[in-house]
């Protein structure tokens, strides 16, 4: 039986720290987008703070995973993680939304190494504890999330510009993680690193596939983000990138299925049964649901229930506390029972329950909404663990990075598509309800019709002081209008959760088709970090 040494455990911790830094950044991009927009402007573009990272993850994960098999994991992990530090510094110093988005794009490059964060702990530890390895990665993600919510919430609680300090802290976390990986990760070279020349390595990369993937997905996501914000679907700004992006994606499918058997979608990944394909479909929905919660839960709580940003963060952090606990339990359960199907089905059942409960929330549901994130967090800890384990054990060992890359890419694709879709649904539903509910509430009380537009604008942008300057205003009108605005937001949030619930139900059905890879839960180590030697006092 292979031995797990202290040096290997330290490496796993260092690699997981890179994940903590990345998750702390993406959580902040969703939770503090409104604070950042209030300081630098450009609130209509704030969705790009999260979406730019999601797109970069989708585009970069497959090529970096493939390149890591040719040139090794170390410098991709360390170097790209350091770019996260640079990006966070730019966000912290941003004086415009464009600059902040540029910083997130640079930080987003570091997310191209996320598949390696999932691959390295799995391949340096025995296969029988692979769910435990994935649990370690998920605990790191949970800690990064809690850091983002509580530290960020404390910094922005009484100072809207406190987001700058938070992103500087996040930059330091990225830098520390990059340094530790550079110092601790010195694996023996892989076979392909030695066998192939530099020219052969570059020639073996799927350049045409990368080009179609990146171009198609960026165009597709841009069209979805712009839909109803600010352009209607009939506008050329939506139709042109949407159609062109869709054509490129279809071309990619044809190319990868018929002409490139060892490219991004390496055919060997799908030749060990249906598990990898099912895991890809399920992780797409998991990403879609995660980004729903990441961008809309804190938004809904701060709009309907809380004014204290720290308390909003505390509410959301309950999700990640449950996440950390459930992923540890799942890691032990899957390793001992050699089962992934039942936990996956249970995870999506919890997701569905979460979406249903959030869809039923109203402006009077503040106490109940305290408990709903626990459903989501518990499901998230189970889901990420089981799906990544399913994918990695369902593919050839030499393609573990490629498999992890596709999983992370498809997960982020789900998040990116989800954000764009939800943004369109939320914006359209909110504007429609504001246009009907607010006039119906305030016109009978005496507000002049000419003041409706300014009244709605000031109410939705939080300009409470400006309300007193609106002609015909009164305290009664302000209260009635406020209730109507909150009711409109509540309906808009409800449609977002209903949409997420529909996707979740499809994934729940798909999860029943996962097969338990019992024979793969063994003591073999796919890529030993150190050569085997006699047992010493440093081994555990």
Beta strands in 192-314 (DSSP E): none
- How many other CB atoms are found less than 10 A from the CB of residue 419? 27
More confident residue, 295 or 487: 487
Tell me the average pLDDT across 512-523: 82
Tell me the average pLDDT across 216-236: 76
Eight-state DSSP code of residue 269: G
Tell me the average pLDDT across 61-70: 85
More confident residue, 500 or 190: 500
Please write the tens of the pLDDT for every residue from 67-88: 888 888 888 999 999 999 999 9
Please write the tens of the pLDDT for every residue from 311-330: 888 888 899 899 999 999 99
Model confidence at 178, pLDDT cuts 50, 70, 90, reads very high
What is residue 481's predicted lDDT score, i.e. its pLDDT?
84
Peptide bond before residue 182 is cis, with ω within 30 degrees of 0: no
> What stretches of 360-474 show up as alpha helix (H) in DSSP?
366-369, 372-393, 400-442, 452-460
More confident residue, 339 or 175: 175
**CA neighbor of 36 nearest in space, from 55, 52, 49:** 49
**In the predicted model, is pLDDT for residue 173 greater than 80?**
yes
What is residue 493's predicted lDDT score, i.e. its pLDDT?
93
Report the length, in residues, of the chain: 540
**In the predicted model, is pLDDT for residue 2 greater than 60?**
no
What is residue 462's predicted lDDT score, i.e. its pLDDT?
67
Among 112-121, 276-285, 461-470, the minimum mean pLDDT is found in: 461-470
How is 62-110 classified by DSSP, letter by letter?
A: HHHHHHHHHH-SHHHHHHHHHHHHHHHHHHHT-SSHHHHHHHHHHHHHG
What is residue 451's predicted lDDT score, i.e. its pLDDT?
80
Using CA atoms of 357, 360, 363, 366 in order, give the dihedral in degrees to the nearest 10: -20
More confident residue, 1 or 298: 298
> Using an 8 Å Cβ cutoff, are 198 and 224 in contact?
no
Among 173-177, 336-340, 344-348, 415-419, the minimum mean pLDDT is found in: 415-419
More confident residue, 56 or 534: 56
Among 87-96, 228-237, 356-365, the minimum mean pLDDT is found in: 228-237
* Structural domain boundaries in the chain: 6-186+262-431+487-517
Task: Give the burial string for 382-401 (b: 16+ CB within 10 Å, else e).
Answer: bbbbbbbbbbbbbbebbbbb
What is residue 530's predicted lDDT score, i.e. its pLDDT?
60
Q: Determine the distance from the C-alpha atom of residue 236 to the mean position of all C-alpha atoms in its chain, rounded to a whole number.
A: 29
Tell me the average pLDDT across 266-271: 84
**Which residues are 5's β-sheet partners?**
539
For residue 283, the surrounding DSSP H or E stretch is helix 275-304
Structure token digits, residue 197: 């020349």
The Cα 332–Cα 324 span in angstroms is: 13
What is residue 539's predicted lDDT score, i.e. its pLDDT?
38
CATH number of 6-186+262-431+487-517: 1.20.1250.20
CA distance from start to end of the chain? 12
Dihedral of alpha carbons 285, 82, 103, 461, sign: positive
Characterise 500 by phi-psi region: left (phi > 0), alpha (psi -120 to 50), beta (else).
alpha
> Using an 8 Å Cβ cutoff, are 331 and 385 in contact?
yes
pTM of the predicted structure, to 2 decimals: 0.81
> Using an 8 Å Cβ cutoff, are 174 and 21 in contact?
yes
User: Whole-number mean pLDDT of the chain?
Assistant: 85
Helix (H, G, I), strand (E, B) or coil at 231: strand
More confident residue, 196 or 296: 296
Dihedral of alpha carbons 323, 277, 419, 77, sign: positive
The Cα 266–Cα 297 span in angstroms is: 37
The Cα 372–Cα 301 span in angstroms is: 12
The Cα 166–Cα 91 span in angstroms is: 10
Helix (H, G, I), strand (E, B) or coil at 227: strand
Tell me the average pLDDT across 522-531: 63
**In the predicted model, is pLDDT for residue 118 greater than 70?**
yes
The Cα 376–Cα 521 span in angstroms is: 28
Please write the tens of the pLDDT for every residue from 282-298: 999 999 998 888 888 88
Model confidence at 228, pLDDT cuts 50, 70, 90, reads low
Tell me the average pLDDT across 206-234: 79
What is residue 61's predicted lDDT score, i.e. its pLDDT?
83
What is residue 534's predicted lDDT score, i.e. its pLDDT?
39
Highest mean pLDDT among 152-161, 230-239, 377-386: 377-386
């Amino acid at each position: 039986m292979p031995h797990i040494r202290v040096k290997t455990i330290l490496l796993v911790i260092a690699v997981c720290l890179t994940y903590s830094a990345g998750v702390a950044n993406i959580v902040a991009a969703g939770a503090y987008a409104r604070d950042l927009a209030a300081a630098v402007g450009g609130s209509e573009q704030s969705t790009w703070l999260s979406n730019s990272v999601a797109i970069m993850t989708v585009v970069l994960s497959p090529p970096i995973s493939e390149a890591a098999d040719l040139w090794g994991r170390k410098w991709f992990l360390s170097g790209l993680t350091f770019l996260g530090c640079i990006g966070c510094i730019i966000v912290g110093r941003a004086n415009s939304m464009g600059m902040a988005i540029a910083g997130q794009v640079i930080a987003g490059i570091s997310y191209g190494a996320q598949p390696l964060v999932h691959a390295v702990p799995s391949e340096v530890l025995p296969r029988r504890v692979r769910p435990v390895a994935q649990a370690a990665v998920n605990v790191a993600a949970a800690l990064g999330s809690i850091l983002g919510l509580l530290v960020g919430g404390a910094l922005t609680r009484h100072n809207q510009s406190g987001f700058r300090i938070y992103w500087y802290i996040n930059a330091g976390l990225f830098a520390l993680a990059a340094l530790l990986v550079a110092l601790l990760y010195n694996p023996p070279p892989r076979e392909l690193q030695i066998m192939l020349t530099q020219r052969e390595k570059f020639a073996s990369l799927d350049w045409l596939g990368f080009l179609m993937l990146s171009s198609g997905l960026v165009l597709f996501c841009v069209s979805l983000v712009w839909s109803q914000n600010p352009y209607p679907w009939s506008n050329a700004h939506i139709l042109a990138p949407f159609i062109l992006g869709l054509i490129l994606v279809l071309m990619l499918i044809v190319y990868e299925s018929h002409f490139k058997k060892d490219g991004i979608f390496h055919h060997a990944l799908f030749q060990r049964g249906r598990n990898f394909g099912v895991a890809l479909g399920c992780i797409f929905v998991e990403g879609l649901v995660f980004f729903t919660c990441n961008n809309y839960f804190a938004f809904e709580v701060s709009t309907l229930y809380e004014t204290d940003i720290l308390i909003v963060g505390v509410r959301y952090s309950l999700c990640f506390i449950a996440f950390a606990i459930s992923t540890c339990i799942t890691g032990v359960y899957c390793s001992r029972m050699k089962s992934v199907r039942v936990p996956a089905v249970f995870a999506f059942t919890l997701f569905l329950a979460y979406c249903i409960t959030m869809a039923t929330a109203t402006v009077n549901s503040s106490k109940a909404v305290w408990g709903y994130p626990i459903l989501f967090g518990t499901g998230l800890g189970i889901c990420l663990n089981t799906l990544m384990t399913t994918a990695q054990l369902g593919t050839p060992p030499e393609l573990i990075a490629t498999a992890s890359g596709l999983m992370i890419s498809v997960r982020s694709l789900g998040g990116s598509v989800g954000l764009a879709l939800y943004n369109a649904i939320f914006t359209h539903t909110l504007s429609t309800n504001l246009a009907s509910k607010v006039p119906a509430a305030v016109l009978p009380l005496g507000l002049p019709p000419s003041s409706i537009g300014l009244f709605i604008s000031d109410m939705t942008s939080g300009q409470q002081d400006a309300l007193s300057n609106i002609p015909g205003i009164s305290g009664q009108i302000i209260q009635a209008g406020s209730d109507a605005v909150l009711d409109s937001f509540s309906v808009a949030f409800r449609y977002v959760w209903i949409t997420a619930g529909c996707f979740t139900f499809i994934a729940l059905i798909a999860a029943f088709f996962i097969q338990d890879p019992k024979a793969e839960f063994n003591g073999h180590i796919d890529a030993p970090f150190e050569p085997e030697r006699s047992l010493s006092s440093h081994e555990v």
